[in-house]
Amino acid sequence: MPIVAFGLGSNLGDKAENLRQAVIQIEGRIGRVTAHSALYASLPWGYSSENTYINACVAVETHLPVEECLRITQEIEIGLGRLTKSRDGYQDRTIDIDILCYDRLIVETNELVVPHPLLHERLFVLEPLAEILPEWVHPVLGRTTVELLKTLTEPA
Ligand code: ADP
Ligand code: MG
């Protein structure tokens, strides 16, 4: 069965509880959670806010196609009180669920880009992802998550 990895983030309300609820719903609607990272604290990325983030990643075994995973995670976001999408820049949110990777599948449509285009540039994504899928090889960059993390933290 394919493995899909989700990046979770929250910077409003009970952040750890928002992540926990998201994982429960992912487990109920998408598939079995095979790995869960630790919770990581991070600062808002790409915009300024006094509300810091909690981030985590989960790996899930699923029989659903990746487009269906996106549709369901967007429903979960709305159900957990996510009010607006990021259009004109980033905003505070109760929950953000991004699809980081789906096996070594490459998707590039208007609605969905997989692997997530900023995965290799964000420490708050790569750190938890490397914790749960250290050997996953990025299908475009040809590097493992551990290698990508090293590149980000030890610039040449
Ligand atoms: P962001 O996560 O960048 O803050 P949003 O969560 O508001 O932004 O998502 C904006 C749009 O990004 C979604 O409507 C979705 O169609 C699109 N998108 C493209 N690729 C992905 C992906 N890998 N995971 C989640 N959403 C994605
Ligand atoms: Mg998102």
pTM for this structure? 0.95
Are residues 139 and 68 in contact, defined by beta-carbon separation less than 8 angstroms?
no
Q: Is 98 a catalytic site residue?
A: yes
Mutate to test the pocket of ligand 1, among 8, 76, 86 (most ligand atoms within 8 A of CB): 86
Under DSSP, the state recorded for 37 is P
Q: Which residues have beta carbons under 5 A from ligand 2 (an ion)?
A: 96, 98
- pLDDT tier at 58, thresholds 50, 70, 90: very high
Q: Kindly report, residue by residue over 106-147, the tens digit of the pLDDT.
A: 999 999 999 999 999 999 999 999 999 999 999 999 999 999
Q: Counting every residue, how long is the chain? A: 156
Residue 73 Cα to ligand 2 midpoint, Å, equals: 9
Q: Distance between CA 95 and CA 74 in Å, rounded? A: 10
